[in-house]
Structure 1
Amino acid sequence: MNNIFSKIIMNQIPCYKVAETVNQLAFLDIYPIKIGHTLVIPKKNIDNIFSLNEKEFLSIMSFTKQVAIGIKKIIPCNRIGMFIMGFEIPHAHIHLIPMDKESDANFSKKKIKLSDKQLNIISEQIKMAINLCITMK
């Protein structure tokens, strides 16, 4: 599969990276439904997250938790919603969305327009919060 996520993984397309491991990548959604909306993907090119083997699945869930904790430290919200849908891009991905109410997760609502500068600032803040959480363990 050659899709936008594959190109991001191969550094052919830039992204607003917030965290990365050998096997996973987390970056801001450039068409967010809420500020801080982040995508978590396996670097393995797979369409369905439930097709990951047990070790890979548990690893991406652990990574996703770290990313969510970092987002929550930076973006004021009641909780971070986690959504796995995967209809728009044929590559497994998890949406992490800062939420105050259920309607914050309405994917059909108008997307937020953020500047490159705003996306850079948000991604750097979340990245620092994630790194701080990891070093405090």
Structure 2
Amino acid sequence: MATVFTRIITGELPGRFVYRDDTVAAFLSIGPVAWGHTLVVPIQEVDRWTEADPALWAHLTEVSRLIGQAMVKVTGAARAGLLIAGFEVPHLHIHVFGADDMSGYTLRAIDVSETEMDRATTELRAALRELGAGEYVPA
């Protein structure tokens, strides 16, 4: 049975995508710990990050780095937080979020309106285009 992330990637479930290529998709978390909180997910279903092919892992972390640069740009946060937990969905995913302190590392969701989710999607896409990833950023 397909994971919830596969269902989002295939369009069966809605998602606010900020990046997509042949092997990786990035979309906003529905349980954000900070405004713009994004999940970087391989299209291939891999459960644990320790089981990912090294080339896939390298690409996931490079895309996460790029998303992190965009995150800092649009949030003004001191840093981009990066976290891998993997207990809530058995499909490898990297959490990327703006961080000024350690509070986001608890993965406690905050309340973000649909309007703010849309704004985060738009601003992250624009920042990713400015960072040179335009061909992978949805219109």
Residue aligning to 2:126: 128
- Deviation digits for residues 73-120 of structure 1, max 9, x if unmatched? 10121101111110000000001121111133222x3x2222222111
Question: After superposition, where does 1:57-136 map in structure 2 within 5 Å?
Answer: 57-107=57-107, 109=108, 111-134=109-132
Q: Does 1:19 align with 2:19?
A: yes
TM-score when normalising by structure 2: 0.90
Residue aligning to 1:48: 48
Mapped to 2, the partners of 1:50 and 1:69 lie a distance apart of: 24
SS of residue in 2 equivalent to 1:14:
coil
**Contact in 2 for aligned 1:86/1:93 (Cα 8 Å):** yes
SS of residue in 2 equivalent to 1:92:
coil
Mapped to 1, the partners of 2:21 and 2:92 lie a distance apart of: 16
TM-score when normalising by structure 1: 0.91
TM-align CA RMSD: 1.5
SS of residue in 2 equivalent to 1:45:
coil
Whichever residue aligns with residue 39 of structure 1, its letter is L
C-alpha displacement at 1:56, in angstroms? 1.0
C-alpha displacement at 1:135, in angstroms? 6.0
**Contact in 2 for aligned 1:29/1:38 (Cα 8 Å):** yes
Mapped to 2, the partners of 1:46 and 1:103 lie a distance apart of: 28
Mapped to 1, the partners of 2:27 and 2:119 lie a distance apart of: 13
Identical amino acids, percent of aligned pairs: 26
- Deviation digits for residues 41-95 of structure 1, max 9, x if unmatched? 0001110122111111111111111111111110121101111110000000001
Equivalenced residue count is 134
Question: Deviation above 4 Å: which 4+ runs of structure 1?
Answer: none
**Contact in 2 for aligned 1:97/1:105 (Cα 8 Å):** no
